Structure 1
Amino acid sequence: MLKKKVLAALMATTLLVTGMLTGCGAKSTQTDTAEASKDKYPKGKMEFIAPGGAGGGWDLTIRTTAKTLKDANLVSVPMPITNKPGGGGAVNLAYMQTKDGSDSLISVYSPPLLLTNLNGSTEYSYKNTTPIARLITDYGAFVVPKDSPYNSMSDVIDSLKKDIKSVKIGGNSSAGSMDHIQFLMVAKAAGIENIKDIDYISFQDGAATAQLLGGHVALLSTGLGDVEQLLKSGDVKVLAQTSSKRVGEGVMAEIPTVKEQGIDVVFENWRGLFGAPNMPEHAVDYWRETLSKMVETPEWEEACKKNGWDKAYLDKDDFEEFLGKVNEDYKGVLSDIGMLKK
């Protein structure tokens, strides 16, 4: 009887240990499978998105990023570019909400991501994405015809202080968006209080330059990267750039900053990459590491030099902090002109 009890106890103990080991093995297998899945990331093709049309700043940035990642042998999977224009980026932002949790979508964005939410054009904001990294910074520029009486931003500001309607401003972005806001930030920093009364005309399909040269507006507010050929043509004068120090080479480096002209403000047309809402941690970690390597490559250095971009890399945490700060800055300007969504 005693032998039977001992034998039964031994068998029970053996079964318990075996079960525990089997359970541990199952958990280990599940963990290993999950880790293996992450190790193989990215799988298949990525979806890289420009939320504007072909040839624009968003399009150039995302295409240059994909090309650099490929040329530097950092990413081997296909990275086709999709253009999803509309609403200053709002159309694509709505599309991104349908991809909640996706690890295969990356979109480029810049200040309109914040501005379209603040002015009420879309209910979604940068908080409805997964910020990954800021890559570059472009800047604003203010352009007048070659025969304009204005030779500096001080001339423009003096004219506006005498008569707020005396200088008609043109731009390619909608009212309350980038070209408009960058000029208003300069005007506000220069001491103009009634900035909401400044005349700003928005032109579609890049027509603002033609309107400037045709004499329909007195000053063009645009991107610094868009003025080099204009400047070389001899048809215009570029009064200022909105960087903290002069950027570019050749004729571009001759453009003074607004700070040099006594106006203490900087406007950055930053561009960064964003994942879908709730992008999985393994995907975020992968792209943080990969992009941090990309911005140190000779290929990226050459691309930035070619396109007149300032390298301005910020990793996820610093980028999110930056977004929060500039969002508050934009709120202030939009509030001043009565365009802040309540």
Structure 2
Amino acid sequence: MKIDSTTARRSTLTSLALVSALALTACGSMTESTEAGSAEGGIEKLNIVVPADPGGGWDQTGRAMEKDLKDTELVGSASVVNVGGAGGTNGLAQLATETDPNTLMVMGYVMVGAVETNNAASRIEDTTPIARLTDEPLVIVVPAESPYQTTQDLLDDIEANGQGVSITGGSAGGADHILAGMVLKEAGIAPDSLNYIPYSGGGESLAALLGNKVNAGISGVGEYAEQIKAGQLRALAVSGSEAAPQIPEVETLSDQGIDVVLTNWRGVVAPGSIDEAKAEELTELVTELHETDAWKATLEQNNWGDAFLAGDEFDAFLDEDITTVKQTLTEIGLL
């Protein structure tokens, strides 16, 4: 969020389609789009930074974007680079020094919290918001051999044994960590009873669960769904307002009398150093991707909710979400 140009960008991006058309005519940098979404005269090569190790939700999002952008010929080529660690803040720091303006970084709710808990020098406010893309609920799971049959079983053990019970998930301060803290708070359990073991990617937390190295885990439904269906993990609850389509038999926390609802959103930002014209071009690119049949199929295939917001709407959403996450982290004892 380039603070020194927020007002100008919001005014410009509100009329995105019109401005984009004028910009393309004025600079002559792009030819009129074909039905196939030709990249002729447009962005020849797009860099997509995934600020996490392979295997997690951000990686899945970045690689889905890469494939669909190339398949629809919206760009000449696209490539993904993984920069893992610290809840995405390592990738955020790299984006702060990025000199290629044709760069997008996948990010989301996890990063909002990680910036605060890591006291990161590079902040989301210093990037250029492009679009929010998806959201999905989280799921609380345990290994198949676990004695916990319900969420209450898990909470009872935490209340009795405190940090003797371990819960794994994504990076510290992210959605998984926040959900664990919110559930304990709702159950009246002290925040310092939480023994949360963070990993930078969903693949690592899954390995810890399957290896019975932790008692429970939290992640996006999509990251654990296959292991749940295969009987390797037992799902105790999902965190959305309704059941998740991949595992419809699993009750929500609310259904179990735990008044907590949280969904994990994901989106993309660009370097804070880009100018207004480039911000408009990248926003238009992602907007066009969102309208393709290929992206609609990707959403359905991955059971991702369509949470699309672009331009000034995404900018305003980020402002509000950052404020809300700071408050939540403080309330559950993480700040």
TM-score by length of 1: 0.78
Query: Does structure 2 conserve the Cα–Cα contact (< 8 Å) formed by 1:146 and 1:234?
Result: yes
Q: In the alignment, is residue 316 of structure 1 matched against residue 307 of structure 2?
A: no
**Residue 294 of structure 2: aligned partner:** 299
Matches within 5 A, 1:134-153: 134-153=132-151
Query: Does structure 1 conserve the Cα–Cα contact (< 8 Å) formed by 2:136 and 2:304?
Result: yes
> Taking structure 1 as reference, are residues 208 and 294 closer, same or farther at Cα in structure 2, changes over 3 Å only?
closer
> Taking structure 1 as reference, are residues 50 and 71 closer, same or farther at Cα in structure 2, changes over 3 Å only?
same
Q: Which has the larger radius of gyration?
A: 1
**Residue 110 of structure 1: aligned partner:** 108
**Residue 283 of structure 2: aligned partner:** 288
**Residue 238 of structure 1: aligned partner:** 235
**Residue 21 of structure 1: aligned partner:** none
Unaligned runs of 5+ in 1: 1-30
Equivalent residue in structure 2 for 1:120, among 106, 118, 121: 118
> Taking structure 1 as reference, are residues 217 and 94 closer, same or farther at Cα in structure 2, changes over 3 Å only?
closer
Instruction: Report sequence identity in percent.
Output: 30
- 1:321 CA displacement: 2.5
Query: Does structure 2 conserve the Cα–Cα contact (< 8 Å) formed by 1:51 and 1:92?
Result: yes
* CA distance, structure 2, for counterparts of residue 217 and residue 86 of structure 1: 20
Q: In the alignment, is residue 227 of structure 1 matched against residue 218 of structure 2?
A: no
- The runs of at least 4 aligned residues of structure 1 exceeding 6 Å deviation read 31-34
Amino acid in structure 2 at the alignment position of 1:221: I
Equivalent residue in structure 1 for 2:267, among 269, 272, 291: 272
**Residue 13 of structure 2: aligned partner:** none
> Taking structure 1 as reference, are residues 219 and 65 closer, same or farther at Cα in structure 2, changes over 3 Å only?
same
> Taking structure 1 as reference, are residues 97 and 34 closer, same or farther at Cα in structure 2, changes over 3 Å only?
farther
* CA root-mean-square deviation: 2.8
Amino acid in structure 2 at the alignment position of 1:95: Q
**Residue 182 of structure 1: aligned partner:** 179
**Residue 92 of structure 1: aligned partner:** 91
- 1:314 CA displacement: 1.3
* CA distance, structure 2, for counterparts of residue 94 and residue 281 of structure 1: 21
> Taking structure 1 as reference, are residues 43 and 229 closer, same or farther at Cα in structure 2, changes over 3 Å only?
closer
Query: Does structure 2 conserve the Cα–Cα contact (< 8 Å) formed by 1:243 and 1:267?
Result: yes
- 1:311 CA displacement: 1.5
- 1:218 CA displacement: 2.4
> Taking structure 1 as reference, are residues 125 and 257 closer, same or farther at Cα in structure 2, changes over 3 Å only?
same
> Taking structure 1 as reference, are residues 245 and 167 closer, same or farther at Cα in structure 2, changes over 3 Å only?
farther
* CA distance, structure 2, for counterparts of residue 264 and residue 338 of structure 1: 18
Q: Secondary structure at the match of 1:253?
A: coil
Q: Secondary structure at the match of 2:248?
A: helix
* CA distance, structure 2, for counterparts of residue 169 and residue 262 of structure 1: 23
Amino acid in structure 2 at the alignment position of 1:264: D
Amino acid in structure 2 at the alignment position of 1:86: G
Amino acid in structure 1 at the alignment position of 2:197: I
- 1:145 CA displacement: 3.0
* CA distance, structure 2, for counterparts of residue 32 and residue 151 of structure 1: 58
TM-score by length of 2: 0.79
**Residue 71 of structure 1: aligned partner:** 71
Q: In the alignment, is residue 131 of structure 1 matched against residue 122 of structure 2?
A: no
Q: In the alignment, is residue 82 of structure 1 matched against residue 81 of structure 2?
A: yes
Amino acid in structure 2 at the alignment position of 1:173: G
